[in-house]
């Protein structure tokens, strides 16, 4: 499908199922965190216990340009998928990327506020909610809080609690919430998850190098789940400077 690009935009190959995405480097491009989150989501765990269930109902909050749900279409059957984004330009790029990949019958992009997700979509609707939220709680000193990159990185328009509370409200019982965040906020993340009856069930730390501290954490929580969490083998990103590990190449589909 032919899609019109706006000034500054480009089309990037996602190296998976011939998928592509529209991005604008001057606004915000997806990073490794989004790719790792899409790889972390487990197909087995997101399906209903009923063996007849063939697909999932998905909500991706803070979708940006739609990278996570677009990548997930390559690994799972999605009955209905919704991509929620508050920034009009990003939502427009996501919508055109969905069209570019002929996914209109699978994904729908909505312009809206994460804090209103349960009002937009209704409660207890989704099997899976994903989110790559803003990581930084401290917005002090931001030169331009309305800048697209600032909104994507800092909790300007939504907080960690906003994201988690709305994930809990929109998930079905036993539905799963998958998120990528920063390890420095793990204590707060666990506290807020349990406050909203989302029980952490899987966690995976991401290290830039084997001898460095982790800089990302992938978390899966279940609405109303039982206690007990699996800590998976960590992901190491770089084998040496500018050289990814084999695991990263595999996740990226190279």
- Assigned domain for 83 exists: yes
Euclidean distance between the first and final Cα of the chain, in Å?
25
Q: What is the pLDDT of residues 222-237, one digit of tens each?
A: 999 999 999 999 999 9
The total domain count for the chain is 1
- Assigned domain for 66 exists: no
- Assigned domain for 220 exists: no
- Assigned domain for 212 exists: no
Checking phi first, is residue 122 left (phi over 0); if not, alpha (psi -120 to 50) or beta?
Answer: left
Q: Does pTM top 0.95 for this prediction?
A: no
pLDDT of residue 71 exceeding 60? yes
Give the CATH number for residue 98: 3.40.50.150
Domain that holds residue 40: 31-45+75-136+149-180+191-204+247-254
Worst-scoring range by mean pLDDT, 16-30, 67-81, 93-107? 16-30
DSSP at 234:
P
Q: Is the dihedral of CA 17, 172, 167, 232 positive or negative?
A: negative
């Amino acid at each position: 499908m032919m899609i019109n690009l706006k000034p500054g935009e480009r089309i990037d190959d996602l190296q998976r199922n011939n998928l592509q995405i529209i991005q604008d480097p001057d606004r915000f491009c997806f990073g490794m965190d989004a790719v790792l989150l899409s790889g972390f989501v487990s197909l087995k765990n997101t399906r209903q216990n009923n063996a007849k269930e063939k697909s999932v109902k998905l909500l991706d909050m803070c979708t940006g340009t739609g990278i996570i749900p677009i990548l997930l279409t390559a690994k799972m059957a999605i009955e209905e998928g919704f991509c929620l984004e508050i920034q009009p330009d990003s939502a427009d790029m996501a919508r055109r990327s969905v069209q570019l990949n002929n996914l209109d019958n699978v994904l729908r992009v909505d312009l809206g506020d994460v804090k209103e997700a349960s009002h937009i979509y209704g409660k207890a609707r989704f099997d899976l909610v994903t989110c790559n939220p803003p990581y930084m709680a401290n917005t002090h000193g931001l030169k331009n809080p309305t800048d697209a990159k600032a909104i994507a990185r800092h909790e300007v328009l939504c907080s960690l609690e906003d994201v988690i509370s709305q994930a809990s409200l929109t998930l079905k019982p036993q539905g799963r919430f998958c998120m990528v965040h920063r390890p420095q906020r793990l204590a707060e993340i666990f506290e807020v998850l349990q406050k909203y009856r989302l029980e952490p069930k899987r966690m995976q730390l991401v290290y830039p190098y084997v001898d460095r501290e982790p800089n990302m954490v992938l978390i899966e929580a279940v609405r109303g789940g039982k206690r007990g969490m699996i800590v998976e083998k960590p992901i190491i990103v770089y084998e040496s400077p500018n050289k990814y590990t084999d695991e990263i190449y595999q996740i990226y589909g190279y």
